[in-house]
Chain A
Amino acid sequence: QLQLQESGPGLVKPSETLSLTCTVSGGSISSSSHYWTWIRQPPGEGLEWIGSVYYSGNPYYNPSLKSRVTISVDTSKNQFSLMLSSVTAADTAVYYCAGTSFYHMDVWGKGTTVTVSS
């Protein structure tokens, strides 16, 4: 049973870089059955796709965030990561990692809250 768990700082200062990690358990991140996605949800708002990455391929990013986002995979640790630079209060959200298969997210982490504040 594939499980995902987000980790990282819950508080980030404005203009700094948000960095989160998703640990995959119960399966290999190198499996061909899934690729890996980050999604966020600002307080009281809807879901926003941040980007996705295959373990061995190029990442795909939301055009509105592309200039600030990096998603990468560490197969040795069975983890994938999100980095979002130059954050502002608008980046305050619950961040979810998810396992994705044919453009649907069938496995989700529980989410981690990130607040951008000085």
Chain B
Amino acid sequence: QSALTQPPSASGSPGQSVTISCTGTSSDVGGYNYVSWYQQHPGKAPKLMIYEVTKRPSGVPDRFSGSKSGNTASLTVSGLQAEDEADYYCSSYAGSGSLLFGGGTRLTVL
């Protein structure tokens, strides 16, 4: 099992939209609709932002959305705000009870 592939960094100005990709294989991202995204601010625990590819937990702004095409999942943050600056991690079910994480993307709000 290899980690899912994310770009190490992404950036955008306030009000803009940014999309972060998460690439896996047909054995994980492409094989199941169990992709989730986590936001992590420095020194804090990760927070669930998106689950099952497109679903948002209660309390997560609708500026955050998820999608998937083939072996690549994406997180889009619309109307960027200063507080969105954080590290973002994708995760996918990979069969046989196992989970994989991506390497993480640092989102900078310019």
A-side residues, CB < 8 A to B, are 37, 39, 46-49, 52, 60, 62-64, 96, 102-106, 108-111
Q: Given A102-B51, A104-B36, are A60 and B97 also a contact pair (CB < 8 Å)?
A: yes
Q: Min CB distance, B4 to chain A, in Å?
A: 10
Q: Is the CB of B104 within 8 A of A46?
A: yes
Q: Considering the complex, give the chain B residue whose CB is closest to the CB of A107.
A: B48
Q: Is the CB of B57 within 8 A of A106?
A: yes
Q: Is the CB of A108 within 8 A of B46?
A: yes
Q: Considering the complex, give the chain B residue whose CB is closest to the CB of A37.
A: B99
Q: Is the CB of A49 within 8 A of B100?
A: yes
Q: Is B3 an interface residue (CB 8 A)?
A: yes
Q: Is the CB of B52 within 8 A of A47?
A: no
Q: Is the CB of B34 within 8 A of A102?
A: yes
5 interchain residue pairs of minimum CB distance: A60-B97, A104-B51, A104-B36, A103-B93, A103-B34
Q: Min CB distance, B26 to chain A, in Å?
A: 17
Q: Is the CB of A46 within 8 A of B89?
A: yes
Q: Min CB distance, A71 to chain B, in Å?
A: 12
Q: Considering the complex, give the chain B residue whose CB is closest to the CB of A48.
A: B101
